[in-house]
Amino acid sequence: MSTAKKAVVRQGFKTGEHVVYPSHGVGQITAIEEQEVAGFKLELFVVSFAKDKMTLRVPTAKAASVGLRKLADADAVAKALTTLTGRARVKRTMWSRRAQEYEAKINSGDLVAIAEVVRDLYRSEAQPEQSYSERQLYEAALDRMTREIAVVDDVTETEALKKIEGQLAKSPRRAGKAEAEAEADLEGDNDDLAEEAA
């Protein structure tokens, strides 16, 4: 005799549902638990991130304020994929400031903001190599985007990645080597100025 577990619903989220936690990406609500903390009963979503082998407990009452959200809908996925085909927008600021902005977008949990990071840091075969920190941010954004699209579209992560790469291939090619070298020189100059100011 099999008894199907009934999904429990709290704050619009239910057990078994995939959700997005801003700083960790796609997870699944595996249970809703009650714990006693300092004499108060606290109800918690148990969110499992299988790929990272990690479990988070989020108070149900704080779900909205920590940014826990449902998976993107088809429109949001389409908008994110369209974002990838746009021209990269790279600000002429020091790398450290840009890196902080990229990190904030990745941890916002907003699929379109994450797509902007993927678009801006994407390098085709013909383009110069990325620095280690650029590559790290690019891969983090790409991973977040891939995982969410895979779950939303009910495809494997490999298929989701192919879809993303297909969109990136449609984007206008980044400016040639001369501009990339000029940007590298600009960064070097900014670093020199920062050292002189120190």
**Is the pLDDT score of 118 beyond 60?**
yes
Mean predicted confidence (pLDDT) in 76-89: 93
Instruction: List the alpha helices (DSSP H) in 50-130.
Output: 74-84, 95-106, 111-121
Per the document, the length of the chain is 198
Kindly list the structural domains of the chain, giving each domain's residue range(s) and its CATH number in brackets, ordered by start.
Answer: 9-70 (2.40.10.170), 74-197 (1.20.58.1290)
Mean residue pLDDT across the chain: 84
Mean predicted confidence (pLDDT) in 83-102: 91
Cα separation, 40 vs 56, whole angstroms: 19
C-alpha dist (Å) from residue 153 to 10, 47, 92, 165: 25, 21, 36, 16
Least confident span in 2-16, 23-37, 52-66, 105-119:
2-16
Find the helix or strand (DSSP H, E) in which 184 lies: helix 177-197
What pLDDT, in 10s, does the model give residues 8-54?
777 789 899 999 999 899 999 999 999 988 888 999 999 999 878 89
User: What pLDDT is attached to residue 182?
Assistant: 41
Encode burial over 16-49: b for 16+ CB neighbours within 10 A, e otherwise: ebebbbeebbbbebeebeeeeeeeeeeebbbbeb
Least confident span in 10-14, 19-23, 114-118, 120-124:
10-14
